[in-house]
Structure 1
Amino acid sequence: MKIKKRVIALIATVGILIGWASLGGSAAIMHATSSTEFCVSCHSMQIPYEEYEGSVHFSNAKGIRAECSDCHIPNDPIGYVVTKIRASKDIYHEFVTGKIDTEDKYEEHRMAMAETVWAQMRENDSATCRSCHSNEAMDLYSQTEEAAKMHKYGVENNQTCIDCHKGVAHFAPEPEMDSAAFDELFALADATPTSTSVVYPIDMIDLGEFGQVNPTTAMNVISESNGQRTVEISGYQMKGAERVLYMGNGQRAIIANLNDAGQAAVVAGTFKTDEYGNEWRTASITSTITSPVLASLDPLWDYAAQLDNVYCSTCHAKIAAGHFTVNAWGPVAKGMGDRTDISELDLEILTKYFQHHAKDVAGH
């Protein structure tokens, strides 16, 4: 029995209509659940929404606004669907577990949530960022010198947007490092043999009655008696700034600060003018110390690497110590440190780590 053409046409039409309605309905649902209004309708999204409202992606001089989906949902079909499926867990936690339904709970999980998003954006090379921004379209001359330098560095080192712009629309997790690692340094310092010939402070320590020595400074031990070491420190002085001992000739990495008595006790060479017109001379001072000291810089550098991971890499990709010179690292580290709650001592140790491995020191 032959089926009439009209019946076939009717079946085909109904099938098309059902398919169209299914696909269209699915697309409409997908689109509706991608709107900012839908995203922030959940109670747990109020905190990130308030942070977003204070960001340049919400309000800016050019009047361009990036919605939630612009940053969190890739445009390619597969990435789009995968992201929507992943987002179903947010609904589950909103209505079933209440995992982040209070501010305290949100802060407790902020780091884990941020790392999840960062990992996804690294996987797709920050695809959502690149839907609006591109390296080729950047006018580096309109950027600050530092921004232009870092964008160039990022391109040369195959970094992706999220490596550095982690706090661009939401507050980055507050970096925090417990005291266990530093306590371990003290334990190692307490165990340093009295026969050690070169020692290194882990803190700002008194140089007898002559001033203070900065952490990581190499001190040659002349003698030791009853927990008191007589040490010699060698460095450089710049004319007009004789209160300071620097790490190298022309290198403004401070290793010691001297008082009047300390300046008088310095054994100094002859001033010589450098290529910038500054006058430098060798300088050494001998005094006593009683503070715990390390027999090697390795534990301090390991500690500095942890500081780098916690306070630097939380916000941006790691910057190799050899990227800047000794003199450049000082202000760079201070400027970045001011944006965190890193302690003065930890910032000093981290700065010295960068300076000791700077591009004009490495290999020497």
Structure 2
Amino acid sequence: MSIKKRYVAIIAILGIAVGWITLGGTAAVMHYTSSTEFCVSCHSMEIPYEEYEGSIHFSNAKGIRAECADCHIPNDPIDYVITKIRASKDIYHEFVTGKIDTEDKYEEHRMAMAETVWGQMRANDSATCRSCHEFDAMDTYEQSEDAAKMHAYGQENHQTCIDCHKGVAHFAPEPEMDSEAFDNLMAFTQNTSADAKVVYPAETIEMGDLGTINPTAKLDVVEANGSQRIVELHAYQMKGAEQVLYFGEGQRAIVAMLTDAGQAAVNAGEFKADAYGNEWRTAVLTAQIDADVLDSLEPIWDYAEELDNVYCSTCHAKIAAGHFTVNAWGPVAKGMGERTDISDEDLELLTKYFQNHAKDVVGH
């Protein structure tokens, strides 16, 4: 019996040893290959590592550093293993295909790589982000007013972290709109009826020596002769800024900029003070234009939604136009536009889209 017990003990010890070596060795390998040092040892990781070094997750006032694994490898055991298996393709491309072994190749594939990671994070509700950041743990009084509003908006609309925070540790792909889209928009002007009673410019247009009219401004046609039209623009002026025509009383969406001659040509009403003490008056301007125009705003709004998809939604989830007021959208769009290479004309169209669908316009 003692011999059998000895065999059993030896087998048990051997089993434990083999199990320890197998499982322990596997765990050690998994742990080592999850380290930042291992991740950045590949040549193709030099670019993302340099971006990471310049991020707040690498260096910050609190001295807390998020390593590669903290953001890219979920803690859930199954997701952990799946992520490690999925990562084997990176080694294949590093040593076999050289898919992103130059800066040009990396930039060529940046969007596809980013979309892959974003998709994975959406699928697990940004689990790695939430291992450190939780809505319930946020002190919104310590956040900026805009940040607090956007976090509240995210909660209300069931958004996940990666919907808005796409450029936190690495540069987000540089969005760019194909010029063909604008050409397609302008092609719709060829369908504008010669006897259209209302027209809208799709870009900033001149009105002789009176000034310029901004895109999407509603123009009532008084007389038409081919592309030449005499139009009437109904807008508002604010006292002290008579060179500007605004969308509505108290609504600072600019529809036209006037020269001295333009200001003199305005048929204006009487100034009346609003609730904030600003004085406004109605303003009607009759002017001649010679430009391609549309008889519907729909093609412009369709184009603006494409701009939203490319320049806005590449970095964060879509924000409904009705989320802000007309006056709030101006600085919001300008501030966000400065972070991209969107053209001034496209930014103006996008801003007008938001302002025309703002929460204090829709339904009125």
Which TM-score applies when normalising by structure 2?
0.98
1:300 maps to 300
Distance, in Å, in 1 between the alignment partners of 2:298 and 2:3 is 86
CA distance in 2, matches of 1:10, 1:317: 61
* 1:52-103 CA distance string (max 9 Å, x none): 0111111111111110000000011011000000100000000000000000
Residues 1-364 of structure 1 mapped to structure 2, 5 A cutoff = 4-364=4-364
Contact 2:194 2:226 in 1 (8 A): no
Tell me if the contact between 2:230 and 2:289 (Cα under 8 Å) persists in the aligned partners. yes
Deviation of 1:12 (Å): 2.2
Q: Structure 1 residue 5: deviation in Å?
A: 2.4
Distance 1:97 1:227 in 2: 57
The 10-residue stretch of structure 1 (5-14 or 17-26) with the greater mean CA deviation from structure 2? 5-14
SS in 2 for 1:237: strand
What amino acid is aligned across from residue 336 of structure 1 in structure 2?
M
- Corresponding letter in the other structure for 1:296: S
SS at match of 1:362: coil
With 192-201 and 104-113 compared, the bigger mean Cα shift is at 192-201
Cα shift at 1:163? 0.7
How many angstroms apart in 2 are the aligned matches of 1:65 and 1:242? 53
Gapped regions of structure 1 (runs ≥ 5)? none
Give distance in 1, aligned partners of 2:153 and 2:214: 31
CA distance in 2, matches of 1:71, 1:226: 60
Q: In 2, distance between residues paired with 1:187 and 1:208?
A: 24
Distance 1:8 1:195 in 2: 100
Equivalent residue letter for 1:72: H
For the residue of structure 2 that corresponds to 1:65, the secondary structure is: coil
Amino acid at match of 1:18: V
2-side partners of 1:137 and 1:170: how far apart? Answer: 25
Calculate the aligned-residue CA RMSD, in Å: 1.3
> Which amino acid in the other structure matches residue 12 of structure 1?
A
What is the CA–CA distance in structure 2 between the aligned matches of 1:260 and 1:54, rounded to whole Å?
49
Offset at residue 3 of structure 1 (A):
8.3
1:2, CA displacement in angstroms? Answer: 12
Normalising by structure 1, report the TM-score: 0.98
Letter in 2 for 1:302: D
CA distance in 2, matches of 1:137, 1:226: 63
Secondary structure of the corresponding residue to residue 215 of structure 2:
coil
Structure 2: how far apart are the matches of 1:271 and 1:56?
50
- In the alignment, is the contact (CA less than 8 A) between 2:165 and 2:316 conserved in 1? yes
Partner AA of 1:327 in structure 2: N
- Structure 1 CA distance for aligned equivalents of residues 54 and 317 of structure 2: 24
Q: Distance in 2 between matches of 1:350 and 1:226?
A: 29
Cα deviation for residue 143 of structure 1 reads 1.0
SS at match of 1:231: strand
Secondary structure, aligned partner of 2:61: coil
How many residues matched?
364
String of CA shifts for 1:186-208, please: whole Å, max 9, x gaps.
11113311011111001110113
CA distance, structure 2, for counterparts of residue 208 and residue 79 of structure 1 = 65
Q: Give the partner amino acid of 1:160.
A: T
Query: What is the aligned-residue identity percentage?
Result: 74
